[in-house]
Amino acid sequence: MRKRLFATIAFTALTAMTAVSGLLSGAAQAADPIKVGAFVSATGPASFLGDPEKKVLELYADRINKAGGIDGRPVQLTVYDDGGAADKAASFTKRLIESDGVDVIVGGTTTAATMAAVPLVERAGVPFISLAGAVVIVEPVKKWVFKTPHTDRMAAEKVMEDMKKRGLTKLALLSEDSGFGKSGREQTIAVAKERGIELVADETYGAKDTDVTAQLTKIKNNAAAQAVLVFGLGQGPAVVTKNYRQLGISLPLYQSHGVASKEFIRLAGGAAEGVRLPAAGLVVAAQLPDSDPQKKVVTEFTKVYEDSFNTEVSTFAGHAYDGLMIALDAVKRAGGTDKAKLRDAIEQTKGYVGTGGTVTMSAKDHMGLTLDAFHMVEVKQGDWSLVK
């Protein structure tokens, strides 16, 4: 009898311990972090793109965690700085996948860095939302790869749309010898044929060139040119813009969305006056009509960013915000971080209103933005002005 009593007590205690252990295990599992990995160019030639991206990812991961996380799960963010080097981007991508065990990657400041990561995420089956501009990132569609910025093709289309409005049909192209610049050149040539724009000059410059007057002099002496489009990012386009004014070229000057940051205006100084480029509504938030669905989103984001960092917002900061929000919204809809389900949920993003526009993705479109998401802006008195 006494042995049976002891056995019953022991069994009851063991059952209770097992139940408690199960509850604790369940609680621990529920609180497992959502592992978000990132590699950005926070330093180096593309730092004015990558630095705000890094700041935004860290800022919003912290804000989300302070608000209770995503369905009770904290966001664990791991960020690496590739310095703008594609080989480092590949190395960090491998580390994020193999060592850090991330659930999703949001990053890739430049096209070169992004494309270095693509084969790694495709092979590993890890969802990747790029922050870079070239259309090659998502065309052709890659199963595990998505992007938030508008493409270089869209930039060329928007520029030529504006040229036609101004009665201009002959374009001189000056592109940077980089991943973004090369892709931009290819897309500009293709779009020009479709839009009835004649390309009368095709020059290139190096990303580290400190003087581009030789190429610009050729364009200046080209009597057929009616406008000039520069495709590049980082400090190069500012150098081009300064040289352009120094040579006294009076043709309309267009830049790509690769310079949609106040840093470009600071670097180019007064030479930036009159430059036009396609950009997200974020840079002209206060000028958007109240009926624009983006107005509330970009106004609030601008306030949070500028209050947090005491500096002007840039579209690159917005790309990172959109990438993180799309990824975390997909985690909610997928019911967790199973990578295949998470990938599917990202692809099924519909009607997300972000800083870059309204995003609706599909199996055939891993960006989800239309040309309407782009606004033509012009530099006036050292600030962005919406072209109406």
In a domain, 13, yes or no: no
Q: At what angle do helices 339-347 and 315-334 cross, to 10 degrees?
A: 120
- Long-range CB pairs of 22-28, under 8 A, 24+ apart, other chains included: none
Q: Tokens representing 164?
A: 């036609």
- Please tell me whether residues 364 and 379 are part of one structural domain: no
CA-based torsion, 380, 289, 154, 323: positive or negative: positive
- Please tell me whether residues 245 and 381 are part of one structural domain: yes
- Please tell me whether residues 121 and 223 are part of one structural domain: no
CA atoms of 32 and 280, how far apart (whole Å): 35
- Please tell me whether residues 213 and 245 are part of one structural domain: yes
CA end-to-end span of the chain, whole Å?
93
- Please tell me whether residues 230 and 144 are part of one structural domain: no
- Please tell me whether residues 302 and 245 are part of one structural domain: no
In a domain, 20, yes or no: no
- What CATH number should be reported for the domain holding residue 74? 3.40.50.2300
Q: Model pTM greater than 0.75?
A: yes
In a domain, 1, yes or no: no
- Please tell me whether residues 346 and 264 are part of one structural domain: no
CA atoms of 56 and 321, how far apart (whole Å): 6
Q: Tokens representing 27?
A: 């609680």
- Please tell me whether residues 247 and 366 are part of one structural domain: no
- Please tell me whether residues 227 and 341 are part of one structural domain: no
Spatial CB neighbours of 151, under 8 Å, sequence gap ≥ 6: 133, 134, 135, 138, 139, 187, 367
What does the pLDDT profile of the chain (388 residues) look like in tens digits? 444 444 443 434 434 344 334 333 343 445 799 999 999 999 998 999 999 999 999 999 999 999 999 999 999 999 999 999 999 999 999 999 999 999 999 999 999 999 999 999 999 999 999 999 999 999 999 999 999 999 999 999 999 999 999 999 999 999 999 889 999 999 999 999 999 999 999 999 998 899 999 999 999 999 999 999 999 988 999 999 999 999 999 999 999 999 999 999 999 999 999 999 999 999 999 999 999 999 999 999 999 999 999 999 999 999 999 999 999 999 999 999 999 999 999 999 999 999 999 999 999 999 999 999 999 999 999 999 999 8
- Please tell me whether residues 206 and 185 are part of one structural domain: yes
Domain that holds residue 220: 153-288+375-386
Closest CA to 258 of 335, 152, 337: 152
CB 370 within 8 A of CB 361: no
Q: Which residues pair with 199 in a beta bridge?
A: 171
CB 50 within 8 A of CB 84: yes
In a domain, 29, yes or no: no
CB 251 within 8 A of CB 226: yes
In a domain, 66, yes or no: yes
- Please tell me whether residues 208 and 351 are part of one structural domain: no
- Please tell me whether residues 381 and 240 are part of one structural domain: yes
SS3 (DSSP) at 288? coil
**Torsion, CA 118, CA 123, CA 126, CA 132, rounded to 10:** 0
Number of domains in the chain: 2
